């Protein structure tokens, strides 16, 4: 049976808790937390990212997170707490579900980057080449 995106989102949101920016900031003060921005590169270049976040576009997440993948990023560890976010919370919810399926137990959805910025969360701005 084929699933709709609505059904996929509902399933992801049941599995991956959504946390507000304040809770994310508290969690990020610990050493064993990885914040992952799953937006596309042009979004990050335009708007910046959560300070200290690792940018991995949604399309590459499984490859970067799976230790068996030749594209594995060593920043990912199943012992860490992972906080994912995107522009609105949809891609991060689906990303969180995938991370759970890959064996990551502590995964949270920060949701929308805009909410982080509006809450006064620290941001890293990408510097344009040549500037």
Looking at the domain assignment, is residue 1 inside a domain? no
Q: What is the pLDDT of residue 1?
A: 83
Looking at the domain assignment, is residue 32 inside a domain? yes
Domain tally, the chain: 1
Looking at the domain assignment, is residue 69 inside a domain? yes
Q: How far apart, in whole angstroms, are the C-alpha atoms of residue 54 and residue 52? A: 7
Are 55 and 37 in contact, with CB atoms under 8 Å apart?
A: yes
Looking at the domain assignment, is residue 99 inside a domain? yes
Dump pLDDT digits (tens) for 32-64: 999 999 999 999 999 999 999 999 999 999 999
Looking at the domain assignment, is residue 105 inside a domain? yes
Q: What is the pLDDT of residue 61?
A: 98
Are 58 and 95 in contact, with CB atoms under 8 Å apart?
A: yes
Q: What pTM, to 2 d.p., does this model score?
A: 0.93
Domain harbouring 72, CATH code: 3.40.250.10
Looking at the domain assignment, is residue 4 inside a domain? no
Looking at the domain assignment, is residue 85 inside a domain? yes
Dump pLDDT digits (tens) for 94-116: 999 999 999 999 999 999 999 99
Q: In the predicted model, what is the mean pLDDT of the chain?
A: 94
Q: How far apart, in whole angstroms, are the C-alpha atoms of residue 80 and residue 57? A: 19
């Amino acid at each position: 049976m084929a699933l709709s995106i609505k059904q996929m989102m509902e399933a992801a949101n049941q599995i991956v808790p959504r946390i507000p920016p304040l809770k994310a900031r508290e969690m990020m003060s610990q050493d064993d937390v990885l914040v992952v921005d799953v937006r596309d590169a042009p979004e990050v270049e335009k708007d910046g990212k959560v300070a200290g976040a690792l940018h991995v576009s949604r399309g590459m997440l499984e490859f970067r997170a799976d230790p068996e993948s030749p594209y594995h990023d060593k920043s990912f560890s199943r012992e860490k707490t992972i906080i994912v976010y995107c522009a609105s919370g949809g891609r991060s919810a689906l990303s969180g579900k995938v991370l759970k399926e890959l064996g990551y137990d502590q995964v949270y959805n920060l949701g929308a980057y805009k909410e982080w910025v509006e809450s006064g969360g620290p941001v890293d701005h990408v510097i344009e080449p040549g500037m």
